Structure 1
Amino acid sequence: MPLLNLSHVTSYTYRQPVSFGEHRIMVRPRESYDQHLIDADLHIDPPPSDLRWLQDVFGNSVAIATFNRRAKRLVIDSRVQVLHAPAEVEHVDIEEYARLYPFTYSSEEMPDLLRSIERQHLDPQRQIDGWARRFISPTGHTETLALLSDMTTAIKREFTYVPRPEKGTQTPIETLARRKGTCRDYAMLMIEAARALGFAARFVSGYVYNPSARDQRTGGGNTHAWVRVYLPGSGWVEFDPTNGIVGSRGLIRVAVARDIYQAVPVSGTWSGFPGSFLDMEVSVNISVDQGVSADDTPIAANGSRKIR
């Protein structure tokens, strides 16, 4: 059970002092049975005139910062300590009625899952539908967990991971056509594919680390994105198509949302002379204080990216 120290620093630089509008910050990991927040500190420079916390409609912790002074640089520095007890794929226990696909969610759960089943991206030629249905066995005997696991590993195996510092996300159809993308592109493709088959799926933003020297994860050094699918009996189960893994081993959840635009780590506005903005740099570092045995020690996932 590793004890992780996470540092997430976002820096904005400008040519001359600018004024800052309201900033919405989602960097505080979620409390759950498999991850326990031990300590958290959010430092902002210049100091905001007001900083308040709220929980959004999904239960994510959101800091709202407002400012009353101008500056040439804005730094948002989050330092947290998390005790992680990750859920493994062998602990996924699906109710008998849902072990084979297709199945129908219970009448008690369906009203709360409907918006997570609803498609968010246009697919006029049903390309995502066709791709998703390749994971259904032609014999009519398709295990639910195997279907989702195969979809996860297929993205890892058949697509090329290409880091992209620019903002924004490809549409699922673009990712399917280009056969390459970032973790957030892969997450949105799998979410739409799962929804095409009637599953309730959500977008997850958080952090990834290498749980051991034997388990090397792609996507470190920045925030990471993956998928949660609701499976009766186990609830929301993690699927990381970037790394082709099932379960939360090596994954720290920060924000869960129906769509990617509801889980942006930092968003806000500024005002000043045109051309004032120089660059944005994001640095995520994860280190391990203590935890598992020496031959299975988690490895830090560190790095940074810059946008000009």
Structure 2
Amino acid sequence: MPLLTIKHVTEYSYRQPVSFGEHRIMMRPRESFDQKLIEAKLEIQPEPRELRWLHDVFGNSVAIALFDRRAKLLKVTSQFTLDHAPLAQGQVDVEDYARLFPFTYSSEDMPDLLRSIERQHHDPTRIVDNWARNFVNDDGPTDTVGLLTEMATSIKRDFTYVPRQEKGTQTPIETLAARQGTCRDFAVLMIEAVRALGFAARFVSGYVYNPSASEGRVGGGNTHAWVRIFLPGSGWVEFDPTNGIVGNRGLIRVAVARDPYQAIPLSGTWSGFPASFLDMSIDITVRMAGSDLLSHPTHGAINSRFATTGSQ
């Protein structure tokens, strides 16, 4: 299992001291059988008056920081080390009744999956529905994993990845029309498409890294976004439409949510003169123990107060 150390630094700078409201920090990876957290630390400058932790409705770890001093700089540094156990596409095992599409989730699972099947975006002319149906065979059975794999790989193949620092996501219809977008745009498109077919799907935010020098990954400019789909027999399985991969190889989960706005890594408020805000910078590095490989370093200022990692 790869031993990874990830450091995520976010800085907001201001012309003169400002006061800070409550900030929510969602940068601690979810612990599970395939992600074993060995060490984690969170440093905040200025030091908050109070820092407490909670689990949100999805079980994500969230730190709540409260401040009582003004400052010209807000710096949040999250660093952790974990064992990562990648799951490859060939290890996805589906129950017999769900191996061919369409199928119906069991009566035991369905009540808990309903909100993850529910559509989030209006599609009055069924544009997303029709696109999703392209992956279903008209003249015979459709392999369930094959359908989902082809959808993920077709997004990588037919759409252009374009980084965008502004807050928010395109609608699935906008992404289909533009044939380009960010990792979060592609994740939202795939979520809506598979929900149109009756699958339970969730949005995932986390980190992406290159498992080896020969394997390239894109979409790691800030944090990365992908999809989890519930498949009977394997449970929640990762699909990354930005990179066209199935399984969690190269993917570290931090937050799982029904909608992207529920998985923002850093959000909060500040008070001061409107022109006080200068800029924001993000630096993310991923290192593997025993290797010189450094995955997806991100450096430099992001000159937007609407960057995806904060809502200052």
Task: Give me the TM-score of the superposition, normalised by structure 1.
Answer: 0.96
Measure the CA separation in 1 of the matches of 2:2 and 2:133: 38
Displacement, 1:250? 0.2
Identity %: 69
Amino acid across the alignment from 1:47: E
Measure the CA separation in 2 of the matches of 1:97 and 1:178: 37
SS in 2 for 1:157: helix
Alignment of 1:88-103 (within 5 A): 88-103=88-103
8 Å contact 1:211–1:299 — kept in the other structure? no
Measure the CA separation in 1 of the matches of 2:293 and 2:114: 38
Measure the CA separation in 2 of the matches of 1:63 and 1:37: 16
Counterpart in 1 of 2:62?
62
Measure the CA separation in 1 of the matches of 2:167 and 2:278: 15
Which residue among 295, 298, 302 is the counterpart of 1:300? 295
Counterpart in 1 of 2:143?
143
**Cα RMSD, aligned residues only:** 1.1
SS in 2 for 1:275: helix
Task: Give me the TM-score of the superposition, normalised by structure 2.
Answer: 0.95
Give the 4+ runs in structure 1 shifted more than 3 A: none
| Deviations, residues 21-48 of structure 1 (Å, cap 9, x unaligned) | 0000000000011111010000000000
Displacement, 1:264? 0.3
Displacement, 1:213? 1.2
Measure the CA separation in 1 of the matches of 2:32 and 2:56: 16
Measure the CA separation in 1 of the matches of 2:229 and 2:299: 29
Runs of 5+ consecutive residues of structure 2 not aligned to the other structure: 305-312
CA distance change for structure 1 residues 221 and 302 in 2, over 3 Å: closer, same or farther?
farther
SS in 2 for 1:103: coil
Displacement, 1:298? 5.4
Counterpart in 2 of 1:192?
192
8 Å contact 2:121–2:171 — kept in the other structure? yes
Amino acid across the alignment from 1:235: G
Measure the CA separation in 2 of the matches of 1:299 and 1:16: 36
Q: Does 1:171 align with 2:166?
A: no
Measure the CA separation in 1 of the matches of 2:241 and 2:273: 42
Displacement, 1:301? 2.1
Measure the CA separation in 2 of the matches of 1:162 and 1:301: 16
Displacement, 1:222? 1.8
Measure the CA separation in 1 of the matches of 2:114 and 2:199: 9
Displacement, 1:282? 1.4
Q: Does 1:38 align with 2:48?
A: no
| Deviations, residues 62-95 of structure 1 (Å, cap 9, x unaligned) | 0000000000110000010011111111110000
Runs of 5+ consecutive residues of structure 1 not aligned to the other structure: none
Counterpart in 1 of 2:308?
none
8 Å contact 1:221–1:283 — kept in the other structure? no
